[in-house]
Structure 1
Amino acid sequence: MIKNKSDHSLVYTDEFINTIEQDFVFSNKPINRFKVKLETTKNQNAEKKTLLEELKKNINSIENCNLKSNSNHLILGDGKPDSPIMLIGEAPSANEDESGKTFQGEVGTLLDKMLLAIEIKRDSIYLSYAINFRPPEDRKPTSQEIKRYSIFLKKHISIIDPKLIILMGSSAMEALTGSGNKISKERGNWKEIILDNKTYPMMISFNPSYLIRFPENKKYSWEDLKKIRDKIKELKIKL
Structure 2
Amino acid sequence: MTPEPAPTVSQLLAFYLEAGVDCALADEPIDRLAEPEAPAAVKAAVASGEASPPRPVRMPQAAFVAPTAEPSPAPDAAIASAREAARSAASLEVLRDLLEKFDGCALKSTATRLVFADGNPKARIMFVGEAPGRDEDIEGLPFVGRSGKLLDRMIAAIGLDRTKVYIANVIPWRPPGDRTPTPQETQICLPFIQRQIELVDPDILVTLGNPSTQTLLSTGEGIMKTRGRWFEYDTGTRIIRAMATFHPAYLLRSPSYKRLAWQDLRAIAKALPQTTQ
TM-score (norm. length: structure 1): 0.74
How far is 1:50 from its partner?
Answer: 6.8
Q: What amino acid does structure 1 have at the position aligned with 2:208?
A: M
Q: Distance in 1 between matches of 2:237 and 2:273?
A: 24
Equivalent of 2:253 in 206, 213, 237: 213
Q: Deviations over 1:81-105 (max 9, x none)?
A: 1111111111110000000111112
* Match status 1:68 vs 2:108: yes
CA contact (8 A) 2:127 2:165 kept: yes
How far is 1:118 from its partner?
Answer: 1.0
TM-score (norm. length: structure 2): 0.64
Equivalent of 1:184 in 221, 224, 247: 224
Q: How does 1:35-46 map to 2 (within 5 A)?
A: none
* Match status 1:132 vs 2:189: no
CA contact (8 A) 2:105 2:188 kept: no
Q: Distance in 2 between matches of 1:173 and 1:143?
A: 14
| % same residue | 35
Q: Check 1:179–1:62 CA distance in 2 against 1; reply closer, same or farther (3 A cut).
A: farther
Equivalent of 2:264 in 224, 227, 235: 224
Secondary structure of the residue aligned to 2:143 is coil
CA contact (8 A) 1:111 1:208 kept: yes
Equivalent residue for 2:93? 53
* Match status 1:197 vs 2:237: yes
Q: Distance in 1 between matches of 2:125 and 2:268?
A: 10
Greater shift, 50-59 or 186-195, is seen at 50-59
* Match status 1:123 vs 2:163: yes
Which 4+ residue blocks in structure 1 deviate beyond 6 angstroms?
none
Q: What amino acid does structure 2 have at the position aligned with 1:150?
A: L
Equivalent of 1:175 in 215, 218, 236: 215
Q: Distance in 1 between matches of 2:240 and 2:191?
A: 16
How far is 1:154 from its partner?
Answer: 0.8
Q: What amino acid does structure 1 have at the position aligned with 2:138?
A: E
Q: What amino acid does structure 1 have at the position aligned with 2:171?
A: I
How far is 1:63 from its partner?
Answer: 2.8
Q: Distance in 2 between matches of 1:104 and 1:180?
A: 29
Aligned alpha-carbon RMSD (Å):
1.8
Q: Distance in 1 between matches of 2:167 and 2:263?
A: 21
Q: Distance in 2 between matches of 1:236 and 1:113?
A: 25
How far is 1:143 from its partner?
Answer: 2.3
Q: Distance in 2 between matches of 1:66 and 1:170?
A: 23
Q: Distance in 1 between matches of 2:217 and 2:184?
A: 14
Equivalent residue for 2:131? 91
Flag structure 2 segments of 5+ consecutive residues without an equivalent.
Answer: 1-88
Q: What amino acid does structure 1 have at the position aligned with 2:252?
A: I
How far is 1:64 from its partner?
Answer: 4.9
CA contact (8 A) 1:146 1:174 kept: no
